[in-house]
């Protein structure tokens, strides 16, 4: 298993093949509404496995359309042109994509490249006058993230981040229940995010490209999940790192991190991020009056779970289709999402990641 994308896809296939508590006719269901309004015209930067997943999902979008590509591999551009009917004038490489500023047919660029490249690429997109959508983690540290936000603000363009779970129906139902007080005072959250990573030469195990290891790749799901499940921002973190294979996981590339967070209300979170153990994709939220358990909690779908009131039965959707349609509403209609997906939201996660690495280095509790 080579990457988080592979892991999440495998979790998806496993979940789909197992007995599940929903009507199969609702699988990846979409609304029958006819939409005749403006379309968000998107170019994808980075034509790897996840870029391909997003492109396929956009085929059924109502408000967003794939119109361009940016890649350093000419053969991929040719393939995508044929597959997605992309005109040559909307195709760019990493050296010349600043020229999109002169292309009125592109509204936004979705940056899906290795983590360490996001900072410079998003800033270039902003300077070209285009809205930026960036995969998570938005950057490799909070400082870089804040610079990206400033560049987009200065250019008067929006900066959104690929938090697809913020639009997932079962996730939103748990958030609704928490806001309605159905769990009572929240006391505890547990997040488990991990898989056994494969190819040791991949960019996710290269600190210069990834900015870290499992925490930057899969652990961010538990960080972000804790925040939207508990409904508060943490005020402290502690963390411990375990490394069993220093050859594969070189200096600065974490294999396994256990971390804890404390919240203003007194609620606590206990989380695990790992590249060494497979089949970890679970969230658990506990309040004085009830609980929610989600497993899989962040895979591509279906998200499954239960609360003290019974199974979660919200419609199953293609996450990236819903994400792109909702982001079109945010960009074109200034819609406010239930859970933020902007650059400020991403920097909150990055500040926590920075603090986790500091806690590991110092062995002390780090205040946020």
* CATH code reported for the domain at 20-163: 3.40.50.720
Q: Binning pLDDT at 50, 70 and 90, where does residue 168 land?
A: very high
CATH 3.30.360.10 residue window(s) in the chain: 165-315+339-367
pLDDT of residue 16 exceeding 50, the answer is no
Q: Binning pLDDT at 50, 70 and 90, where does residue 10 land?
A: low
Specify the pairing of strand 268-274 against strand 280-287.
Answer: unpaired
CATH 3.40.50.720 residue window(s) in the chain: 20-163
The upper half-sphere exposure of residue 57, i.e. CA atoms within 13 Å in the direction of its Cβ, equals 22
Per-residue model confidence (pLDDT) at position 25? 31
Average pLDDT of the chain is 93
Does the annotation mark 110 as catalytic?
no
User: By C-alpha distance, which of 76, 97, 351 is closest to 224?
Assistant: 351
Per-residue model confidence (pLDDT) at position 212? 98
Task: List pLDDT tens digits, range 123-135.
Answer: 999 999 999 999 9
Global confidence as pTM: 0.92
Neighbour count for residue 166 (Cβ, 10 Å): 22
pLDDT, mean of residues 171-175: 98
Cα separation, 101 vs 127, whole angstroms:
8
Cα separation, 123 vs 208, whole angstroms:
19
Cα separation, 340 vs 319, whole angstroms:
16
Per-residue model confidence (pLDDT) at position 336? 98
User: Cα–Cα–Cα angle for 51, 57, 59, nearest 5°?
Assistant: 110
Catalytic member of 130, 136, 158, 351: 136
Cα separation, 15 vs 304, whole angstroms:
9
The upper half-sphere exposure of residue 141, i.e. CA atoms within 13 Å in the direction of its Cβ, equals 10
Q: Binning pLDDT at 50, 70 and 90, where does residue 2 land?
A: low
pLDDT of residue 15 exceeding 80, the answer is no
Per-residue model confidence (pLDDT) at position 22? 35
Task: List pLDDT tens digits, range 255-294.
Answer: 999 999 999 999 999 999 999 999 999 999 999 999 999 9
Does the annotation mark 136 as catalytic?
yes
User: By C-alpha distance, which of 165, 167, 98 is closest to 129?
Assistant: 98
pLDDT, mean of residues 68-91: 98
Backbone angles phi, psi at 56, to 5 degrees: -65, -40
Cα separation, 213 vs 275, whole angstroms:
8
Cβ atoms of residues 270 and 181 within 8 Å: no
Cα separation, 4 vs 202, whole angstroms:
12
pLDDT, mean of residues 313-338: 98
The two structure tokens encoding residue 244: 């069993």
Specify the pairing of strand 186-194 against strand 159-161.
Answer: unpaired
User: By C-alpha distance, which of 164, 167, 162, 172 is closest to 305?
Assistant: 172
pLDDT of residue 94 exceeding 90, the answer is yes
CATH class name, domain 165-315+339-367: alpha beta
Catalytic member of 50, 92, 110, 221: 221
User: Tokens 């053969």 map to which residue?
Assistant: 75
User: By C-alpha distance, which of 116, 151, 104 is closest to 132?
Assistant: 151
């Amino acid at each position: 298993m080579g990457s988080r994308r592979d892991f999440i896809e495998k979790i998806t296939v496993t979940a789909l093949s197992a007995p599940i508590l929903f009507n199969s006719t609702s699988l990846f269901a979409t609304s029958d509404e006819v939409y005749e309004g403006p379309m968000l015209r998107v170019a994808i930067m980075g034509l790897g496995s996840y870029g391909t997943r997003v492109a396929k999902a956009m085929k059924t979008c109502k408000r967003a359309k794939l119109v361009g590509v940016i890649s350093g591999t000419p053969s991929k551009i040719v393939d995508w042109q044929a597959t997605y009917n992309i005109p040559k004038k909307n195709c760019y490489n990493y050296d010349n994509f600043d020229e999109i500023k002169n292309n009125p047919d592109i509204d936004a660029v979705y940056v899906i490249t290795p983590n360490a490249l996001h900072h410079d690429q998003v800033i270039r997109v902003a300077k070209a006058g285009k809205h930026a959508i960036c995969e998570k983690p938005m950057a490799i540290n909070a400082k870089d993230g804040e610079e990206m936000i400033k560049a987009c603000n200065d250019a008067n363009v929006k900066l959104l981040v690929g938090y697809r779970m913020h639009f997932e129906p079962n996730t939103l139902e748990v958030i609704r229940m928490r806001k309605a007080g159905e769990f009572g005072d929240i006391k505890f959250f547990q997040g488990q995010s991990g898989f056994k990573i494969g190819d040791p030469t991949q960019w996710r195990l290269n600190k210069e490209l990834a900015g870290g290891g499992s925490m930057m790749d899969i652990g961010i799901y538990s960080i972000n999940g804790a925040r939207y499940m508990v409904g508060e921002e943490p005020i402290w973190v502690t963390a411990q790192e375990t490394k069993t294979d220093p050859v594969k996981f070189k200096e600065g590339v974490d294999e396994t991190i256990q971390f804890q967070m404390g919240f203003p209300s007194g609620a606590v979170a206990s989380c695990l991020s790992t590249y060494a153990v497979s089949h970890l994709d679970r969230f658990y939220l506990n309040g004085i009056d009830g609980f929610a358990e989600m497993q899989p909690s962040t895979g591509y779908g279906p998200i499954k779970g239960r609360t003290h009131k019974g199974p979660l039965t919200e419609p199953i959707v293609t996450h990236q289709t819903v994400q792109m349609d909702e982001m079109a509403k945010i960009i074109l209609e200034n819609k406010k999402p239930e859970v933020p997906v902007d650059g400020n939201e991403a920097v909150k996660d990055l500040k926590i990641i920075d603090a986790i690495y500091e806690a590991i280095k110092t062995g002390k509790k780090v205040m946020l």
